[in-house]
Chains A and B, each alone.
Chain A
Amino acid sequence: MVRLNVNGAVREVEAEPDTPLLWVLREQVGLTGTKYGCGIAQCGACTVHLDGAAVRSCSLPLSALTAEQKIVTIEGLSAHADHPVQKAWAALDVPQCGFCQSGMIMASAALLAQNPHPSESEIRAEITNICRCGTYNRVLAGIQLAAEGGQGGRG
């Protein structure tokens, strides 16, 4: 039994130590908003926050985690989908199929927490998640809109 702090609650999970956090979240904790897209930290669909930083949970084994580390998933980003990034996403209708968007939102929220007013080139360099529908320009505009709100550092 391993203890994890997920979205502010301590969860006890039972899984082999090499099980990636992604699959622990999806199959043990029951939080399926974090997506599997590649399994090799390429696409970013599995992005969650670990102590506030964006990490790709598909490549983070359970054995590397402690109960003291705070894991935040898309389900725990905000209470009412009202994080500035989520609000900007809603305002600009960013998602298409939406499968990559949990990861996009989590990566964008972490970027703004670290850099509340990123330049366009910083956004382009930092957000490396893959979207096959092609929402990139709306993602870019969404981050800029969330940053304009001046609340980028929250959450």
Chain B
Amino acid sequence: MRFDMDIPAAPSPAPSPAHSPGRSAPVQASRRAFLAGAAAAAGGFSLGFHLPGPAAAAAPAVPEVNAWVVVRPDETVVIRIARSEMGQGTLTGLAQLAAEELGCDWARVTTEYPTPGQNLARGRVWGDFSTGGSRGIRESHEIVRKGGAAARMMLIEAAAQGWSVPASACRAEKGVITHAESGRTTTYGAVAERAATLAPPKEVVLKDPKDWTIAGQPLKRLDTAPKLDGSQVYGMDLTLPGMLNAAIRDCPVTGGTVKSFEAGAVAGMPGVKRVVQVGETGVAVIADTFWRAKTALDALPIVWDEGPNAEVSSASIAAVLREGLDAPEAYIGNKAGDVAGALQGADRVVEAVYSVPFQNHATMEPMNATARWTPERCEVWTPTQNGEAALAATAEAAGLSAAKCEVYKIHLGGGFGRRGATHDWVRQAVLIAREMPGTPVKLIWTREEDMTHGRYHPITQCRMRAALDAKGDLTGLHMRISGQSILAAIMPQRMVNGRDPVTFQGLNPSGPEATLGYTIPNILVDHAMRNPHIIPGFWRGVNMNPNAIYLECFMDELAHAAGQDPLAFRRKLMANHPKHRAVLDAVADRIGWSTKPPEGIARGIAQMMGFGSYVAAAAEVSVSPDGKLKIHRIVAATDPGYALNPQQIDAQIAGSFVYGLSAALHGACTVKDGRIEQTNFDSYPVMRLDEMPAVETIVMPSGGFWGGVGEPTIAVAAPAVLNAVFAATGKRVRNLPLANTDLRRA
């Protein structure tokens, strides 16, 4: 099979020799060529459209060496990336892995996204497209490395055949193949066409990570240049010839439906083409521009049937969760020894109840998708964390088989889990496009729609109950989580006998993913599932976030109750957990835990394991007499097994504090009359530069496993700071966010 179009992932002219995807003139909507039909016919990649440019026009058709690698005659190396780039750097990291094994010149690397339709047609040659759970690299490193290694072997074989020498006598470096004996050389670009005709090798041997020269290096991102001059085209920026724009309002109460709307009231407004109902629950206005669609939608009288949840409030949800704290029935996540006995025989029982609210992902780019539907075919352009799931959603909404649909992925303006598991906005876009067959329609959510129709971080409460013996040592712990299950709402097929294993993230007794870092002789971690109607989702860090707050703040409480140092108290329980302890020790050492903090400064510490990585944080804070918190300094340590790009890991860790602390300090989505009350960044404040602390990162890969880096550190951000707040004020923040607690000195 040939791929005749080499369209870079970034919709700019064909790549320049520099590894950026190239620069282009400011995007002019009218200049775009719409090549989706041609792209589909040719088995094209990426966006299904491109921006014309001299290089692109001149780019010849080049056959792929294999599914992962195309080498052009000008030596440009195109590496295909199945996972999505949403800011986390996966695009660059995966390219590093493939390029490492390929042995090419990194300066000539560019990337492109294969489409989900192509993956389907080719027997999932690129594997899973899902980009969540910090799995982008750790679950695909092997297939990507093998793809690069196989391509290298085929390129060498092609050169060897040309010289009539054995391939074993040749080697490749930086895209140049050398036959040592004769001193002859050639390049990947020169032999790529021949290599494409060869059978793939049956076996490939991967490099030892200690020999890496591209992987493991703090290389710059491949996708930076177009993000500096406005030329990066996000889904929201897409323009197709003849395209119309749509704005949507879905019922503000989940479970409610559209009763009626008066299309005639807005039909004469500027630019308005159609007013359509979207499924049972939404109404959209289609107009020539988005602004006109939104203006008309704002003026459109809609009557809702708010359904069975119209009376639900945050208070009523909290009452249901509170009941769960004492419920006799609960799913067990971790159990050892006899907790009831330990509590009964304790010298002292310490108890506390914590809670976390709903959180919105609030990606900077609100949800959007462009769809074009005909009775024969449906195409969607959208930022998605999972192209295959987006394709499935497209097919279902289109009423067509997946083979008759295609999804073109676009770099995401933030994902954080919102754009992966459910594709509600894609479904809407396709349903709208079905109302205007043949016309591409771009659906954009307003920020208000985005804030009130999220897939929220699940709401939970937790009662911690611990037994301390006469020496102040922890002999038993019962951790009762009460609240929402993500899987029950959006992926019931992944539940295990009714139980949601994700709920116990970071608290598991064993396993490579997310284990508890303490050995406690008598322990019970259980979950009373209580599912409000607000739909939850995977929110960057997922259940590790609340679990770390519950566990690590309570460990701090126990240390203080026992009159022990919080670090020493933890370390006594960590003898069997050297990797957990190593990151904790690292941050304690760097922050100077054994020394007295500067005047007016207090410290807090926390550790956790999740997404396969071990993380810890230490924070230095001060609280003014009028209750104002200032976070002065954060030290964060991560052991992700292998560190593919230390610079990008540093960026992910620093960013994790913004996400985690935004939630801990400010974030809460509350419910009134069945609907989410917060509508924009004025009512859902997030951290800005004025609050951002200095973050020092310690990347300490111990090897032998692959952990994620995009999410784990978020979990330790909040407890490290909250423990420091306690050290500063004596006030224990147990109900998040911190903004609900008055920190003024009494």
Q: Does B285 contact A (CB under 8 A)?
A: no
Whether B27 lies near A38 (C-beta < 8 A) is no
> What is the 8 Å Cβ interface bit string for chain A, positions 111-155, against chain B (1 contact, 0 not)?
000000000000111011111111111111000000000000000
Which A61-102 residues have a C-beta within 8 angstroms of B? 73-78, 80-81, 86, 89-90, 93-102
Q: Which residues of A contact B230 (CB under 8 A)?
A: 31-34, 73-75, 102
Whether B26 lies near A31 (C-beta < 8 A) is yes
Question: Which of B23, B447, B658, B690 touches A37 (beta carbons < 8 Å)?
Answer: B447
Whether B658 lies near A101 (C-beta < 8 A) is no
Which B266-292 residues have a C-beta within 8 angstroms of A? 270, 289-292
Which B644-663 residues have a C-beta within 8 angstroms of A? 647, 651, 654-659, 662
Which A24-43 residues have a C-beta within 8 angstroms of B? 26-28, 30-40, 42-43
Whether B681 lies near A20 (C-beta < 8 A) is no
Whether A125 lies near B690 (C-beta < 8 A) is yes
Task: Find the residue from A40, A131, A135 having the highest chain B CB count within 10 A.
Answer: A131
Q: Give the interface segment out of B83-91, B568-576, B603-611.
A: B83-91
Whether B682 lies near A99 (C-beta < 8 A) is no
Q: How far is the CA of A138 from the CA of B237 in the complex (A)?
A: 25
Q: Does A110 contact B (CB under 8 A)?
A: no
Whether B364 lies near A130 (C-beta < 8 A) is yes
Q: Does B61 contact A (CB under 8 A)?
A: no
Whether A127 lies near B647 (C-beta < 8 A) is no
Task: Find the residue from A33, A94, A98 having the highest chain B CB count within 10 A.
Answer: A98
Task: Find the residue from B30, B88, B223, B681 having the highest chain A CB count within 10 A.
Answer: B681
With A101-B228, A123-B689, A128-B689 in contact, is A43–B364 under 8 Å at CB?
yes
With A31-B26, A81-B228, A130-B681 in contact, is A139–B689 under 8 Å at CB?
yes
Q: Does A51 contact B (CB under 8 A)?
A: no
> What is the 8 Å Cβ interface bit string for chain B, positions 648-689, against chain A (1 contact, 0 not)?
000100111111001000000000000000001110001111
Please count the residue pairs between chain A and chain B whose beta carbons lie under 8 angstroms apart in the complex: 196
Q: Which residues of A contact B332 (CB under 8 A)?
A: none
Whether A40 lies near B682 (C-beta < 8 A) is yes
Q: Does A54 contact B (CB under 8 A)?
A: no
Whether A98 lies near B413 (C-beta < 8 A) is yes
**Number of chain B residues close to chain A: CB under 8 A:** 70
Whether B232 lies near A98 (C-beta < 8 A) is yes
Q: Does A45 contact B (CB under 8 A)?
A: yes
Whether A77 lies near B364 (C-beta < 8 A) is no
Q: How far is the CA of A15 from the CA of B655 in the complex (A)?
A: 39
Q: Does B373 contact A (CB under 8 A)?
A: no
Whether B364 lies near A35 (C-beta < 8 A) is yes
Q: Does B411 contact A (CB under 8 A)?
A: yes
Whether B87 lies near A96 (C-beta < 8 A) is yes
Question: Which of B270, B366, B656, B681 touches A134 (beta carbons < 8 Å)?
Answer: B656
Q: Does B577 contact A (CB under 8 A)?
A: no
Whether A135 lies near B229 (C-beta < 8 A) is no
Distance of A103 from chain B, by nearest CB (Å):
9
Q: Does B302 contact A (CB under 8 A)?
A: no
Q: Which residues of B contact A133 (CB under 8 A)?
A: 87, 364, 414, 655, 658
Question: Which of B220, B234, B657, B689 touches A99 (beta carbons < 8 Å)?
Answer: B234
Q: Does B233 contact A (CB under 8 A)?
A: yes
Q: Does B350 contact A (CB under 8 A)?
A: no
Q: Does B28 contact A (CB under 8 A)?
A: yes
Q: How far is the CA of A125 from the CA of B292 in the complex (A)?
A: 35
Q: How far is the CA of A128 from the CA of B413 in the complex (A)?
A: 19
Distance of A7 from chain B, by nearest CB (Å):
8
Q: Which residues of A contact B651 (CB under 8 A)?
A: 93, 96, 135, 138
Q: Which residues of B contact A28 (CB under 8 A)?
A: 289
Q: Which residues of B contact A39 (CB under 8 A)?
A: 446-448, 680
Q: Which residues of A contact B681 (CB under 8 A)?
A: 38, 40, 42-43, 130
The 7 residue pairs across chains A and B that have the minimum distance between CB atoms:
A33-B230, A134-B655, A134-B658, A97-B87, A99-B413, A98-B227, A96-B87
Inter-chain pairs besides A18-B295, A134-B657, 5 sampled, C-beta below 8 Å:
A16-B292, A30-B30, A95-B224, A99-B364, A133-B364
Give A residues with C-beta under 8 Å from B.
7, 15-16, 18-20, 23, 26-28, 30-40, 42-43, 45, 73-78, 80-81, 86, 89-90, 93-102, 105, 123-125, 127-140
Give B residues with C-beta under 8 Å from A.
23, 26-30, 86-89, 220-221, 223-234, 236-237, 239, 245, 270, 289-292, 295, 361-366, 411-416, 444, 446-448, 647, 651, 654-659, 662, 680-682, 686-690, 692, 694-695
13 residue pairs of the A-B complex, CB under 8 angstroms, read A7-B26, A16-B295, A18-B295, A30-B30, A36-B236, A42-B682, A75-B230, A97-B87, A124-B690, A132-B361, A132-B416, A134-B687, A140-B692
